[in-house]
Structure formats: C-alpha cells, structure tokens
C-alpha cells in the first residue's frame, strides 16, 4: 500500500482558551484533490499554518513524504515540497511579476540558475499570466494578483499545494478560469488541498470534501455525501450547503452560475 503524501496525526493547537485544532488526524495521498469547507473562524487557515509550518502544534505530529516535519519551519517545508497561497495576496509590489516568481523559485524552492528561471517561466504559463511577466505587481487587478499568488506557490515546485480561498472576490467567469488552472495543476501530479467558501468551485474539482468547525472535523468523504450530512448543514446554517445541493446554474466548467455570486474576500483564523 502506498504511503500517504501528507499525514496529520492527532494535532492540537490552542491560543489560550481558543481551540483552533483539537486532536485532528487525516491523510492526503499523492495527486489527491481535497476541499475544506467550514464557517468563518472554524480554523481552516490555521490548519494550513500547521501543515505549512507557519504554526507549531501544541501536540501531535505532521509527516510529509514519510518524514516527520513537525519541528521544521515553513522555509524548510517549502523546500521539501509544500507550497501554499494566502487569502490576501501580498506580492513584492515594486517587483515585476516575473521577479516575484524568481524570488519564490530561488528562496522558496531553493532552486538556482537555469532551474529557477525554468520554474518561474513554468509558473507564469500555468497560472496564465505570461502577458504580465514584466508588469510591476502593484499594477495588477484582483484576478491577476490571485493568479500571481498561485504562480508564486507553483514556482517553488511543490508536490502538495495548499490553496486558501483563491476564488474569493472573483466573478463567475474568473472562477471558471481558476477551476481550469487548478485542474491543470493537479493533472501535473500535484496534490491539492483547497479551502474555499465558493462551494461550487470545490465540488467542480475535488474528489473528497472535509468540513471543519470549531477546530474539529464534522465531515469527511465524497463531496455530495458530506454536504448532505446534518452536522455539516448545521455549521453552514443551511445557506451555502443548500445552494450547493439545490443544483442552481453551473457553467460548463462547473463554476457558479450568474445567480450565485462568488462572494467577497473573507478572513478565517
């Protein structure tokens, strides 16, 4: 049996009395695409921090590619193959798009010379922003900043990509384009864990859905089955889950229809 690419084993994290992860355990296989949903404040972004090394767990262990990485910082985990995006893109605004990617390839991925340039070019092409290569990052609109954030993670050449609400604030056609990019990334063999409030974007791509609430998992499995669970419906207050199950309008790619806006940027501890 093939070993999982990522293993989170009984991980717990608290900030005083606030519990953001309570004895969490799950595994993700190579090439798997997993979606994570949950209400604001559920601990979704904090879970990414525990995986990527931005946060240290109070208890438990994180293993990646068969190696314990719990004590490694984010830079070391990135070099091992864990790439991530952030809800709010913060590129180096005075650098061009390509320069941002070169920094990611060299400093994040530990690549040098031709390898770093090749990784930067590949990320440009995969994210669909080659035409903006020489544009200063500060001049980019929301869609292109989102794509640059994704490209920066790809430039580190990850085997596991953590996407944190990359569809937030985008229009329906833009979400459809994003879905195709994520599908292409996964087709290259990269495992993806995607946190998203735009539920239809997830269900168009993922084969497995996890619902997180109050620092604990309340659902894990096939997307439609998870979304139908009473506990999952309860934490969503019936809104997003009901919309996802109702069948509303969908574009050919599985993106939200025009009667279901993608929504605005949100923050999630």
User: In DSSP terms, which residues pair with 210 in a beta bridge?
Assistant: 36, 220
- Percent of the chain surpassing pLDDT 90: 79
| Helix or strand run (H / E) with residue 192 | strand 191-195
Helix (H, G, I), strand (E, B) or coil at 14: strand
With 90 as the cut, is the pLDDT of residue 205 above it? yes
Poorest-pLDDT segment among 117-126, 191-200, 229-238 = 229-238
Q: What is the mean pLDDT of residues 144-166?
A: 97
Residue 80: its H or E element: helix 74-80
**What would the pLDDT profile of 45-90 be if each residue is shown by its tens digit?**
999 999 999 999 999 999 999 999 999 999 999 999 999 999 999 9
pLDDT for the residue numbered 1: 52
Q: Output the pLDDT for position 77.
A: 98
At 237, the pLDDT band (50, 70, 90 cuts) reads low
Q: 259: pLDDT confidence band, cut at 50, 70 and 90?
A: very low
H or E stretch including 107?
A: none
CA distance 152 to 150: 5
């Amino acid at each position: 049996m093939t070993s999982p690419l990522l293993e989170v084993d009984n991980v717990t994290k608290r900030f005083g009395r606030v519990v953001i992860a309570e004895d969490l355990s799950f595994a993700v296989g190579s090439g798997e695409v997993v979606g994570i949903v949950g209400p604001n404040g559920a601990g979704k972004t904090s879970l990414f921090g525990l995986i990527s090394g931005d946060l240290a767990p109070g208890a438990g262990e994180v293993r990646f590619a068969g190696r314990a990485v719990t004590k490694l910082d984010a830079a070391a985990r990135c070099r091992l193959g864990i790439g991530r995006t952030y809800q709010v893109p913060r590129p180096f605004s005075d650098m061009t798009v390509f320069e941002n990617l070169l920094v990611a390839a060299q400093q994040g991925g530990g690549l040098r010379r031709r390898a770093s340039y090749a990784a930067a070019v590949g990320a440009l092409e995969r994210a669909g922003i080659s035409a903006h290569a020489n544009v200063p990052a500060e001049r980019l609109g929301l869609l292109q900043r989102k794509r640059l954030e994704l490209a920066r993670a790809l430039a580190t050449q990850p085997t596991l990509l953590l996407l944190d609400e990359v569809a937030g604030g985008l229009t329906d056609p833009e979400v459809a384009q994003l879905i195709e990019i994520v599908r292409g990334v996964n087709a290259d063999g990269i495992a993806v864990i995607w946190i998203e409030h735009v539920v239809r974007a997830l269900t168009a791509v993922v084969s497995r859905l996890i619902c997180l609430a109050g620092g604990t998992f309340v659902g894990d499995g096939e997307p439609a089955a998870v979304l139908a669970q009473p506990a999952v419906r309860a934490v969503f207050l019936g809104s997003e889950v009901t919309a996802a199950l109702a069948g509303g309008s969908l574009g050919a790619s599985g993106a939200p229809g025009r009667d279901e806006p993608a929504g605005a940027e949100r923050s999630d501890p």
